[in-house]
């Protein structure tokens, strides 16, 4: 239901962009995933992933959001992802896996500027 990423950074003078490639757990039976993102305990943004028939269910998606410099405390960034509607493959009768899933983080970058 909740996942965290914690970083120490050198530059707290600028806003930072967090870029990530994810694989959301969305499919015909679970067609929407809602995630609230908090940075150092403060609400930052929301992420919504929807199942689309024309996309493969196992399609990577790129997400970018800004972290304001005011939310960086003591050069530390604690990004908290709160899944608003967690569900397991077992609940959907897809597999015996009972873990409540949100998204798989494939890779990420911290950027000073986003182009």
31-83 per-position pLDDT tens digit: 889 999 999 999 999 999 988 776 655 678 999 999 988 888 888 999 999 99
Residue percentage of the chain with pLDDT more than 90: 43
Spatial distance between the Cα atoms of 82 and 73, rounded to a whole number of angstroms: 20
- pLDDT at residue 83 in the model: 94
User: Is 69 in a helix, a strand, or coil?
Assistant: helix
29 pLDDT band, cuts 50/70/90, is confident
Q: CA–CA distance from 53 to each of 20, 35, 60 (Å)?
A: 23, 21, 15
* Of 53 and 21, the one with more pLDDT: 21
Q: Tell me what the pLDDT averaged over the chain comes to.
A: 88
SS3 94: coil
Tell me the sheet residues that pair with 62.
21
Question: What CA–CA distance (Å, rounded) separates 96 from 44?
Answer: 34
How distant is the alpha carbon of residue 25 from its chain centre?
12
Q: What is the pLDDT of residue 115?
A: 54
State the pTM of this model.
0.85
């Amino acid at each position: 239901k909740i996942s965290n990423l914690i970083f120490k950074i050198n530059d707290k003078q600028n806003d930072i962009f967090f870029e990530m490639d994810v694989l959301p757990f969305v499919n015909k039976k679970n067609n929407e995933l809602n995630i609230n993102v908090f940075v150092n305990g403060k609400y930052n943004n929301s992420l919504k992933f929807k199942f689309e028939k024309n996309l493969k269910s196992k399609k990577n998606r790129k997400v970018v959001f800004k972290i304001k410099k005011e939310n960086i405390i003591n050069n530390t960034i604690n990004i908290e992802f709160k899944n608003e509607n967690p569900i397991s493959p077992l609940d959907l009768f897809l597999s015996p896996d009972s873990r409540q899933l949100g998204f798989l983080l494939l890779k990420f970058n911290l950027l000073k500027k986003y182009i």
